[in-house]
Structures are given as C-alpha cells and as structure tokens.
Chain A
Amino acid sequence: MTAVRIPPTLRGEVGGERQVEAEGATVRELLDDLAAKYPALGAQVLENGGVAPFVNVYLGGEDVRTLDGLETAVAPGQTLILLPAMAGGSC
C-alpha cells in the first residue's frame, strides 16, 4: 500500500481524511485504485485519461510530469502527494 496525501481542497471527497492509502505498481494504477475507492476524488483528479490540468501529482517529492508521467513506477515506502497548482509568488 502507498500513502496518498490529500490537499484541503479534496478532503471532502475522501471523508475529511488528510491521508489515504492506495495500491498499485505505477502512478496510473494508484490513481485508478483511488478513483475506484473514491469516485468523487477520481472525477476531480483525472480528466480524459490523464491528470487534470490544475492538479500536480508528486511521487517521492518529485512531480510525475518530470518523471515518467503516469507510468512512473512506485517503490515501497514512497508517498504520493496531490496538490492544486498554485501560483508561486515572489522568486
């Protein structure tokens, strides 16, 4: 099982939890498993078979878009983090 951190914006979709668990060998499998368990979350995070534009998905602290995207392999002990895309401020 992989721990998945849920941002405040999406906690309503998972019963208020800050962190849930999902199973899968790749990021795609993790997100599919999440969507099966929490359909309302899946509807927000996934769009046309990919990650929705204003959602960032991180594995091991790195954006999966700069890894192998949804096909990025998940290693034991890694955490998946979902975040809304935020405008950086000053630097």
Chain B
Amino acid sequence: MEAYALLLAATLNAGTVLALAALGLLINEKAGVVNLGAEGLMLCAAIAGFVAVVHTGSDLLGFAAGMGAGALLAALFGVLVIWLGTNQYATGLALSLFGVGFSAFVGIKYVQEKLPPRPQFSWPVLGDIPLLGPALFKQHPLVYGAMLIAAALIWFLYKSRTGLVLRAVGESPASAHALGYPVRLIRLAAVVAGGALCGLAGAYLSVIYTPLWVEGMVAGKGWIALALTTFATWRPARVLLGAYLFGGVTMLQFHLQGAGVDVPSQMLTALPYVATIVVLALISRNPTWIRVNMPASLGKPFHPG
C-alpha cells in the first residue's frame, strides 16, 4: 500500500511539469497562437532558473528567472508571428532549436554544479496521516500551485469577461477587431503569459524536480505538453488530468521494473510516447470532440484592416 501511495506522490510530481507547461500553451492556443517553441523555451528557462538558484540560493528567484526567461522568449516569438506575420509553425520550430542550442551553450559551466540542500515540504497535521499524508500532502507547493492555476484558468476562460475576449480572439479575430478589441496586443499578452508558465515548468524541472542542470534535460516534455493540449481538447481540467496521466505512465514503468514485473524495459520507456500517439489517433476519429473546443482560428495569422 505504502508503495502505491508513494507512486501517486511521484505521479503528481512528474505531472506538475507537464501541467504547468501545457496550461501555458493552452492560454496561447485559446488566443489562436501555436507555440511549437515550448521545448526550447523550457530549456532556456531551466538553465535561467538553475543559474539564479546557484548564485542567489533562493528558489523563488529561480522560479522568477525561469518565468522571466520564458516570457522574454515568448515575447520575441509573439512579435515575430503576430506583427511580422511569420509562419507560426516555422517560427516555433526555430525557437525550439535555438533554445536547445542556446541553453546548452549558456549551461556549459553549470553542468554538475550543486544547488543548496533542497527543502522538504509537509502540510501540518495532514502530512502525518498514514498513506494519504505521503501521497498527497508532502509535495512541493508548486504541485498544488499547478492545480490552483488550472482552477484559475477555468474561471478565467469561462467565467470572466477578459477570458471571453481572449477566446473570441482565438475563435474569430476579425469579429473581435470589429468590436474594437486590440487583437494583436491580446494575442501577445496571451503568448507572454503562456511563455511565463512554460518557463515556470522549466525552472521547476531544473530547480526542484531533477534537481540539476544538464543540456537537453527537458527531454521531450515540451513536445508532450504540446500534444497534451490537443489530447485534452483544449479544456483546462482535462489538461491537468492528462498531465497526471502522462506523469503516471512515466513513473509506472519504473515502478513495475522495480517490482520485478516481467515487461521489457525498453518497451516501458516508450510507453508515454505510444500513449500520446494512441490518444491523438483516437480523438481524431471523433471530429466533434475537437471542433467543439478547438479555437477556430488556431495557427492563423491576423492582419487588421
């Protein structure tokens, strides 16, 4: 039993990185912008956060640095695709490739650099409950933060006026423009906010989750986060659940191996990616699932006037 409680804890932890990044990308996509640069952006944020913690010893500053790096790169991306009208997919790919190389270059000196002792967290009283405590209440605050962000995003997108405007920009930028909304500025704000969340995910990875820096350490999590938004048919709650599901598959394969279950480990290593493809294939078979929630102008540039 204890092992399952800890497996659940590890799953929540692994899912948090994906959830933060995918929620960020969801904001982008709800405004009609696809940012394929997530992987590179997360890598740059991971090294930025790591460097900040190495030099200041403060995790909070590390997260801030990661969010800053993410927002900065996203803003650059935003200006390119929104004002200069460059192709979103090509620009995103370029950003991703740039991020992989640039973070490796900046991080050369920080490979195997050590962070100060990592803090342990536990809720008062709740953390001491047998089974439930170690499973749910001994996580890093950001694990709960990701859940709160998801809840806030649901409220923002579906209950607030600003969220309605954001969705309108993603559905029909021409109508939003006709109503007098600054479509391009709103898209830029969404891109920057999404980038900051991706950055937070990257910093969480290098500062809390692993915690060390090595080039390419995001290891495809940015791409999985991108797939997650489609997998979740652009609904925040499903994004969160999907993130835990994907995190769970990752942890489960190690758990099964450790428990001596006779499954080829190479197969298990591929499982999260197989799951991504299977789910994408499944939901694509049902067009209404996608059409109901997919922003109608996703990936399309908007030129006012």
Q: Do A and B bind each other?
A: no
Q: Which residues of B contact A (CB under 8 A)?
A: none
